[in-house]
Amino acid sequence: MRSYHAPTDDILFSLEHVAGAGDLADWDTELTREVAGHFAQLAEGVIAPTDEEGDIDGCKLVDGRVRMPKGFRGAYAQIVEGGWQGLTAPEAYGGQGISGVVSAAVSEIFSGANHSLQMITGLVPGAISTILAFGSEAQKDKYIPFLAEGVWLSTMCLTEPGSGSDLSSIRTKAVQNGDLWSINGEKIFISGGDQDLTDDTLHLVLARTGETSDGVRGLSLFLCPSVVDDERNSVNVVRIEEKMGLHASPTCQMVFDNAKAELIGEIGQGLIAMFTMMNHARLDVALQGVAHAARATDISRSYAADRIQGKGKNGQPVAIDQHPDVIRMVDEQDALTLGGRAMSHIALVELEKGSNPDLVEFLTPICKAFCSDAGTHAADLSIQVLGGYGYLQEYRAEQNYRDARICSIYEGTNGIHAISLATRLLTYKQGVAADAFARFVEAEAAASKEDHLSDALETWRKARQQICNLENPAAAAHSFLQLTSEVLFQAAWVRIASVADRADNPDRIHRLAQTVKQRSDPTIQFWSRMLN
């Protein structure tokens, strides 16, 4: 079994040199390296050892409460002791005030070490951001310190039976009752809906305050703690879902029965507030996909270097990392990892800068979709590299695949993001987000003088026009998302190649960059043939 090793050097190279985090006003190279290094030690020594045990034991519902796997409480206690839950929270509320870009390094390492535990803890930064943006001063003072200190964890309660991605059909009802509100309804697929790592959980609940006919305009957002005035609130878990992967992350079916809650933000503006949390979560999911791809690459590379099979040109036995097909698969894993990470980091740095929100809006669904699919594909490749051993539990390649697979589904399925890209993002405000993307790729092509990127961009521009002219753009949405993702992937690799000499292993970067440049992408070929 290959123990988890955090790809800290690759992450720091990507952030500082590829994504340009070094240009941020508050960027501190040494601080970032220190933060990432300290968390990597915690991840490798404390968090990762709980991952396999958690996968085997899973979570249990006992007397209406979720019991987490053995070892999780101890690991979480060390996470809290180190102040990691409040990494991005403002210092005024007990946090450390570290930027979201630095936090991205921690998030990827956490996901690679134990995705299930990261799932349970990882919604806190988004909850804090939502309360900071929409909460009253009293709500900020009341809730953020508990979240920052790790005393509470949080959830995001949107999905209901019969209203998965169609939020306009949400039926959970909120009725004002004095200064508080009473929530009644049922929510499903709630990650960490209950757990015994903390005594309280803060549920951010999307509920209806208007009529059903009002659609999403009748939805408001509420803060609903699981404990109110030292008594359990009427928020009950009735089921833990049995899942393909993430066995140690309780995915709960929950019933709210006159549960006490506070309105956050304005009545009827719940979806706007919730998107603050969802957009944070979508970039986090992109990094989860990257983490699985990195883990898959490490498992493959380690195994292939030790597995002796066949003979080389001199007739002597060789490891399979000398076999051309194994080299191909490991290189593909590595390229997907580095490219997906660069794409996500570029979006995060642009988000931190705040000067190009249209570009960030366009990049977010692309990063979520591409990186989540890349994580699953890289995990699948590692099973193939290991052969029969990859199909066994011993090397954990199969768990990596099972845990990665959810990333393409939650926080909006990749099909939904494809439709959003081909419709709303191409037409909103005369296509300002798509224009921002075109300018970004154009600048990368001009700076690098890479004809293949210019050609890909020209194909994308023609495809964009074709999509806009279609009566039903959704029919071509999947293919257009693949094309857009490939263009961004190529642009990211152009950047990576331009700073390869700053990496720890420049030869590896240059070789992979040539492989990516020369690969024959079927999506670009398809669109080129169709448009010419």
Residues acting as catalytic residues: 411
- State the CB neighbour count (10 A cutoff) for residue 80: 17
Q: Per the structure block, which two tokens stand in for 223?
A: 């803060």
Measuring CA to CA, which residue among 386, 413, 408 is closest to residue 397?
A: 386
Residue 211 class from Cβ within 10 Å (0-12 exposed, 13-18 middle, 19+ buried)?
Answer: exposed
Residue 251, phi then psi, degrees to nearest 5: -95, 110
- Distance, in Å, from the CA atom of 55 to the CA atom of 248, rounded to the nearest integer, reads 6
Write the DSSP assignment of 96-107 as a string of letters.
Answer: ----HHHHHHHH
- Distance, in Å, from the CA atom of 244 to the CA atom of 405, rounded to the nearest integer, reads 9
- Distance, in Å, from the CA atom of 219 to the CA atom of 209, rounded to the nearest integer, reads 6
**Cβ-count burial 14-24 (b if 16+ within 10 Å, e if not):** bbbbbbbbeeb
As a whole number of angstroms, the longest Cα–Cα distance in the chain is 84
- Distance, in Å, from the CA atom of 112 to the CA atom of 7, rounded to the nearest integer, reads 9
106 close to 291: Cβ distance less than 8 angstroms? no
Q: What's 269's DSSP letter?
A: -
Q: What's 121's DSSP letter?
A: H
Q: Which residues pair with 177 in a beta bridge?
A: 180
Angle, helices 357-386/414-422, rounded to nearest 10 degrees: 140
DSSP 3-state of 204: strand
Q: Give Rg (Cα) of the chain.
A: 23
Q: Which residues pair with 157 in a beta bridge?
A: 205
204 close to 223: Cβ distance less than 8 angstroms? yes
Q: Per the structure block, which two tokens stand in for 416?
A: 């939904």
Measuring CA to CA, which residue among 481, 139, 234, 488 is closest to residue 344?
A: 488
